[in-house]
């Protein structure tokens, strides 16, 4: 079978491949953290500034206008920070 072959590290010592699976798991948790951080950033920076004035205006019985602007760079930065935080947190939690 092709999967029964021994895997060797660069220094010549045998490896079971468990480290690769752990890094894959850390990466998957990091991607999940990036998605959560990006969604939270969109909600806080885009949806709340639009929705909050309308809710307050409804409660007071007055009219209201709201606007919000966001660039994709801000979402990317939030996703990168979320990935790094989740990756490092999972790596420290497992170790």
pLDDT digits (tens, 9 = 90+) for 21-76: 888 999 999 999 999 999 999 999 888 888 888 888 888 888 767 777 888 999 99
Contact of 68 with 56, CB cutoff 8 Å: no
Q: Please report whether residue 51 resides in a domain.
A: yes
Asked whether residue 11 is domain-assigned, the answer is: no
Is residue 5 included in any domain, yes or no?
no
CA dihedral of 48, 31, 92, 42, whole degrees rounded to 10 = -10
pTM: 0.70
**22 belongs to a structural domain:** no
Domain presence at residue 10: no
Residue 35 placed within a domain: yes
Report how many domains make up the chain.
1
Radius of gyration of the chain (CA): 22
């Amino acid at each position: 079978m092709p999967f029964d072959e021994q895997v060797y590290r660069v220094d010549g010592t045998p490896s079971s491949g468990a480290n690769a699976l752990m890094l894959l798991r850390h990466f998957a948790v990091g991607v999940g953290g990036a998605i959560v951080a990006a969604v939270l950033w969109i909600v806080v920076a885009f949806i709340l500034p639009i929705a909050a004035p309308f809710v307050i205006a409804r409660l007071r019985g007055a009219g209201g206008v709201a606007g919000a602007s966001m660039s994709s760079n801000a979402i990317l930065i939030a996703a990168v920070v979320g990935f790094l935080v989740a990756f490092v947190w999972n790596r420290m939690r497992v170790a």
